[in-house]
Chains A and B, each alone.
Chain A
Amino acid sequence: MPPMNQQHIFHELDKTMNALKDSVLLMASLTRQNLERSVNALLNRDIDLARSVIGDDTEVDELEMKIDQIGMDILLRFHPVATDLRLVITSMKMAHNLERISDHAVNIAKRAKKICKSSEAIETTIIEPLYTKAEKLLRDALLAYTDANPELGQGLKPADAALDAEHKQVIAMLSGRLENAGPRAENLLHLIFVARSLERIGDLSVNIGEDSVFLSEARDIRHEHRKSPEAGESQD
């Protein structure tokens, strides 16, 4: 994690900061796991795995609350400044973003469960390229955060744009098939929602990347395309 290796005179602050960092790391790894397992449940028609993803989300929810509580305690007790302050703020934002990503994993698992129960066969591998892109984005965002690598953190936009483009294609393809789908329509709709969740995970990963830049360099790069007139024009 960021330049936090220097010890504070007040050791209690180090101890509490470490507890905060450990909780964020644990939450990040659980969230990644949940996403991976939810997609595996879908691709392998594994209903038990889908159920366990849905059940394990409680742990992520509890970690979100724990991180907020530790963060608030640190703000209250130690009045952190500079890197310390940014670490507390970004940890709390990380927890929020991770919780939402894990919620999307739960959504995917719920759709997987429904698809598993249906007797109609469906080509679930259609969403696999989307998952590969979303998973890579999440992994890079988390790496940017844990390794204090702002270059990686601010370079996620193109990968997210590629994910968005892929998402559009997949939705178009699935919608096209809907018309004559008959009884398979329901499963196609489930897949559309899965695709939507994966696309959102990309956006949330970009948020985490932006937070990692703020943590390392105290630079707020959110909404930068709006500030730059050239970028604004090109989007019009």
Chain B
Amino acid sequence: MVSESTETAAVRIENLRFAYGEKQVLHDVTMDIPARQVTAFIGPSGCGKSTLIRCINRINDRIPSARVTQGSILVHGIDIHRPDIHLQELRRRVGMVFQKYNPFAKSIYENVVYGLRIAGVKKKSDLDAAAENALRSAALWDEVKDRLHTSAFGLSGGQQQRLCIARVIATEPDIVLMDEPCAALDPLATLKIEELITSLKEKFTIVIVTHNMSQATRCSDRTAFMYLGNLVEYGPTMQIFEKPREKQTEAYITGSFG
């Protein structure tokens, strides 16, 4: 099937329902996530925001009984639930960074080129170039270039998280999903990741889940507010935080949630 899309949406979610066993956790979510912008998801714990972004690279498939019960997700116009979708390829195109930085017990260099080795890249000069490129993009190169072959665990928390981002972008994904990427970091390391996020959007579509509303205001272009599995409001970040249309959004962002 030839799927040509003229849309600017990197991800199109249509009437998505999702359940863990009998418990439905996402209710008819419909939204377009634009390409090369930062889209932030905010909302109280358990509102479904992580579940939703984890649907985009089908990483929820790994949880028994978790399933999409209705609706579809298109990534650049292609339905990711089509039977011929190659999961490994989907997850290369839709990379993910987690709350707790999780480098492998390998050298800094081997962490970055891990995905490329799996994809069959063998030539050392290609791997070297890709590693330098990814580390530069992740604003980490200058800090680690003299110790590429030492353990990744010798880095600070913020550096380890930037290494995880380098590892994801080394495989040149279209979309990078970030699930609370700064939750385990101090304020300065957080600012560095936020600065990185705003620079990465030139090349990648970024989707970020955050509990930190000021983080959403600082570095996202669009914000989605979710509550009890519903997408309550979704729009330009400044509009959401300056004049939200929905009472529930206003209550949540002003901290008067009852």
Interface residues of A (CB under 8 A from B): 8-13, 72-73, 76-79
Contact = CB atoms under 8 A, between A and B. Distances in A.
Top 6 A-B residue pairs of the complex, sorted by shortest distance between their CB atoms: A9-B191, A77-B217, A10-B195, A10-B191, A79-B214, A76-B241
Contacts of A8: 191
A13 B241 CA distance: 17
29 contacts: A8-B191, A9-B188, A9-B191, A9-B192, A9-B195, A10-B191, A10-B194, A10-B195, A10-B198, A10-B218, A10-B219, A11-B195, A11-B198, A12-B195, A12-B198, A12-B218, A13-B218, A73-B238, A76-B217, A76-B238, A76-B241, A76-B242, A77-B214, A77-B218, A77-B238, A78-B214, A78-B217, A78-B218, A79-B214
Interface in B174-220: 188, 191-192, 194-195, 198, 214, 217-219
Nearest to B218: A77
Contacts of B192: 9
Contacts of B195: 9-12
A12 B188 contact: no
A12 B218 CA distance: 8
Nearest to A72: B242
A13 B194 CA distance: 11
A215 to B, nearest CB: 23
Given A9-B192, A72-B242, A73-B238, 14 more contacts: A9-B191, A10-B191, A10-B194, A10-B198, A10-B218, A12-B195, A12-B218, A12-B219, A76-B217, A76-B241, A76-B242, A77-B214, A77-B238, A78-B217
Interface residues of B, number: 13
Nearest to B241: A76
Nearest to B195: A10
Nearest to A73: B238
B136 to A, nearest CB: 16
Contacts of A13: 218
Contacts of B191: 8-10
A8 B241 CA distance: 23
A78 B198 CA distance: 14
A226 to B, nearest CB: 36
A79 B198 CA distance: 17
Contacts of B194: 10
A35 to B, nearest CB: 34
